Amino acid sequence: MPSRLHEWIVTVDHKRLGILYIATALFFFAVAGVLAALMRLQLAYPNATFLPPDVFNRLFTMHGTTMVFLVGMPFFAGLANYLTPLMIGARDMAFPRLNAFGFWIFLFGGILLYMSYVTGEGLAGHGTAPDVGWFAYAPLTERAFSRGTSTDYWILSIILTGIGTTASSINTIATIVSMRCKGMTLAKMPLFAWLMLVVSSMVLFILPPLTAGQIMLLLDRYLGAHFFDTQAGGSAVLWQHFFWLFGHPEVYVLMLPGFACASEIIPVFSRKPMFGRPAMIGATIGIGMLSSGVWAHHMFTVGMTASSNIYFAVASMAVGIPTGIKIFNWLGTMYGGKIRFDTPMLFCVAFLFQFLIAGLTGVMLAVAPFDWQVTDSYFVVAHFHYVLLGGLLFTLFGAIYYWFPKATGKMLSEKLGKWHFWLLVIGFHLTFDTLHFAGTLGMPRRIYTYAPGRGWDTLNLVASIGVIFQAAGVACLVWNIIRSLRKGEPAGNDPWDGWTLEWATSSPPPEYNFAVSPEVRSSRPLWDLKHPEDPDWRYE
């Protein structure tokens, strides 16, 4: 046993690091889910006294920070690590030891954040986690309003996880650029790798403003700088610009790995190649570029001029165009296919419907006047949970069912998978459909309680009931994973009749991935192999 543990700790194998990333992401997902459930319990009834305000404020800060930095980001890094080398026919990432460094510094960043619950200091004494919200608006984060060290835990842990993510992104780019197998030009590279290339490049552009902002805040707090300290003439709005310059593209950094998974799963289960592949790649690059120029749509209420508001409104709507192209391309892929509804595909189909709604409410939020009403309300909460839960997490769950057999050699149970799927769908819609309406009825986000009689009571109760279904769904996944690891059906090399290179090697793949370096002639090398009479390369 000790030697096996030791192997995992010292490993530089991209597959093991990928699994470590994803296991860590799932662990933090469970933690953040518990935090969310506690909040929904408090909000189920008006005037509930289950949680005091300070505890509640820590919960939503930790939930948001955890979901973005300790769940969404490691899922991206984990998928990029595990799958990219396999898909491009490489034997490992370009920098295996940088890879291990990235994971461990990320993990320690995550542990540091949660250490605040034990050792952080705040108004309430020891054991005070950060309570400034996940976007930590200045000057609430300055020493005058945030005493003690809890905010410092938030700052430092985000800087640390950012270092890990940067390392992982550089590694992914280097791997994709320089380690593709023979014959795999960029034009013939799987869409998954393309999206990972775009995401990794985005990370390198957007993390610096965040890290710079965090360091400036740290200077404010400890060395008397006055960047965001309004009492000394600093600018609160400057922090918002720094944060959203990172924060908005970050939404796409989180989302594109989900798109990447859907772009592999949907074609295989529809039995057709991706419809309009070049447009798909172009749309991804378009999203990457456009998303960097729309950050101030998070700031329509800070008093910008009418012309700035109009620019940011129209630019934000424009992101809907490449996003729409993607939805249409997935639709075009399914159209005329023979769709198999195994669990991975079920999650992707639900993703398409939910992401359609998420995209439309996103366009609504780009309409600046509508945003003046619903920003910072439960409408926004419902919108971004539609994006990140209904969109991202559904595709990630699909990805787990799709690639688990490759990573472990064991199939997950379809029956439990369907229970997981349906419970999650029901719970998700109970919780988040209702919350849109609470927002249009004036319910602001981040309130620990509310008085009865304002039209919010029933909506909140239904939303809280939904959590029970969601939790049951996730429990099915956990049980499914444990059960399959112990006595799952053997998967074989290629259980889904896939087309990309990872299905050409054994399950789980050997440490060196491929005994002989593969050579490809199209973006679906295994299709070519299985259908020599009608190979893709004739058309590409």
Partner 1 sequence: MNCSSRLTGLLFWTTTVAFGQSVYSIADMFKPRATPADSIFNVSILMLAICAAIFVVVGGLLTFTIVRFRRRKVDDNREPAQVYGSTRIEIAWTVIPVLIVLALGMATARSVVEVQNKRIPADALKVTVIGHQWWWEFRYPELGIVTANELHVPLSTTTKSTVTALTLESADVAHSFWVPQLAGKMDLIPGVTTSMWIDPRQQGIFLGNCAEYCGMQHANMLLRVVVEPAADFEKWVDAQKMDAASDPRLESARTTFLSLNCINCHAVRGTIAKGTFGPDLSHLMSRATLGAGMIPNTVENLRAWLKDPQTIKHGNLMPNMQLNSRELDEIVKYLSSLK
Q: Residue 391: what are its φ and ψ, rounded to 5°?
A: -95, -75
Non-local (6+) Cβ contacts of 382 within 8 A are 361, 432, 433, 434, 435, 436, 438, 439
* Comparison of 91 and 445: residue with beta carbon closer to partner 1: 445
Let me know if 494 is exposed, middle or buried by CB neighbors in 10 A (0-12, 13-18, 19+): middle
User: Taking the complex as a whole, how short is the minimal distance between the CB of residue 157 and partner 1, in angstroms?
Assistant: 20
User: Taking the complex as a whole, how short is the minimal distance between the CB of residue 338 and partner 1, in angstroms?
Assistant: 4
Here the tokens at position 409 are 């050699």
Asked if 457 touches partner 1 (CB under 8 A), the answer is no
Asked if 120 touches partner 1 (CB under 8 A), the answer is no
8 A C-beta contact, residue 168 and residue 144? no
Asked if 332 touches partner 1 (CB under 8 A), the answer is yes
Asked if 50 touches partner 1 (CB under 8 A), the answer is no
Q: Which of 289, 426, 441, 475 binds partner 1 (CB under 8 A)?
A: 441
The length of the chain in residues reads 540
Asked if 331 touches partner 1 (CB under 8 A), the answer is yes
Asked if 185 touches partner 1 (CB under 8 A), the answer is no
Taking phi first (over 0 means left), then psi (-120 to 50 degrees means alpha), and beta for anything else, what does residue 474 get?
alpha
Taking CB under 8 A as the binding criterion, the range among 151-159, 209-217, 441-449, 477-485 that sits at the site for partner 1 is 441-449
Q: Which of 41, 163, 289, 447 binds partner 1 (CB under 8 A)?
A: 447
Asked if 327 touches partner 1 (CB under 8 A), the answer is yes
User: Taking the complex as a whole, how short is the minimal distance between the CB of residue 66 and partner 1, in angstroms?
Assistant: 17
β-sheet bridge partners, residue 126? 121
Query: Segment 2-31, which members bind partner 1 (CB under 8 A)?
Result: none
Total residues interacting with partner 1, rule: CB under 8 A: 101
Torsion sign (Cα): 32, 172, 108, 150: negative
β-sheet bridge partners, residue 125? 122
* Comparison of 2 and 303: residue with beta carbon closer to partner 1: 303
Taking CB under 8 A as the binding criterion, the range among 26-34, 249-257, 274-282, 485-493 that sits at the site for partner 1 is 274-282
Torsion sign (Cα): 518, 523, 524, 529: negative
Q: CA angle at residue 332 from 331 to 334, to 5 degrees?
A: 65
Here the tokens at position 474 are 């996730």
Q: Which of 2, 125, 303, 532 binds partner 1 (CB under 8 A)?
A: 303
Q: Which of 306, 486, 515, 516 binds partner 1 (CB under 8 A)?
A: 306
Q: Long-range contacts made by residues 302-310, C-beta under 8 angstroms, separation at least 24? A: 302/237, 302/240, 309/368, 310/368
HEC string of 276-298? CHHHHHHHHHHHHHHHHHCHHHH
User: Taking the complex as a whole, how short is the minimal distance between the CB of residue 122 and partner 1, in angstroms?
Assistant: 11
* Comparison of 119 and 301: residue with beta carbon closer to partner 1: 301
* Comparison of 103 and 243: residue with beta carbon closer to partner 1: 243
Q: Which of 230, 408, 493, 506 binds partner 1 (CB under 8 A)?
A: 230
8 A C-beta contact, residue 327 and residue 356? yes
Q: Which of 210, 294, 296, 352 binds partner 1 (CB under 8 A)?
A: 352
Asked if 440 touches partner 1 (CB under 8 A), the answer is yes
Q: Which of 454, 490, 512, 529 binds partner 1 (CB under 8 A)?
A: 454
* Comparison of 76 and 239: residue with beta carbon closer to partner 1: 239
* Comparison of 532 and 539: residue with beta carbon closer to partner 1: 539
Taking CB under 8 A as the binding criterion, the range among 217-225, 253-261, 333-341, 487-495 that sits at the site for partner 1 is 333-341
Asked if 52 touches partner 1 (CB under 8 A), the answer is yes
Torsion sign (Cα): 190, 193, 194, 195: positive
In the shown chain, the binding pattern of residues 186 to 225 toward partner 1, with x for contact by CB under 8 A and - for none, equals ----------------------------------------
Query: Segment 67-106, which members bind partner 1 (CB under 8 A)?
Result: none
8 A C-beta contact, residue 522 and residue 536? yes
Q: Which of 119, 177, 186, 301 binds partner 1 (CB under 8 A)?
A: 301
Q: CA angle at residue 87 from 85 to 88, to 5 degrees?
A: 65
Report the DSSP pairing between strands 121-122 and 125-126: antiparallel
In the shown chain, the binding pattern of residues 277 to 296 toward partner 1, with x for contact by CB under 8 A and - for none, equals xxx-----------------
8 A C-beta contact, residue 351 and residue 262? yes
| Nearest of 103, 128, 113 to residue 66 by alpha carbon | 113
8 A C-beta contact, residue 395 and residue 437? no
Asked if 370 touches partner 1 (CB under 8 A), the answer is yes
Cα of 136 vs its chain's centroid, Å = 20
CA–CA separation, 523 and 429 (whole Å): 37
In the shown chain, the binding pattern of residues 128 to 147 toward partner 1, with x for contact by CB under 8 A and - for none, equals ---x-x---xxxx---xx--
Asked if 122 touches partner 1 (CB under 8 A), the answer is no
Asked if 529 touches partner 1 (CB under 8 A), the answer is no
CA–CA separation, 487 and 245 (whole Å): 47
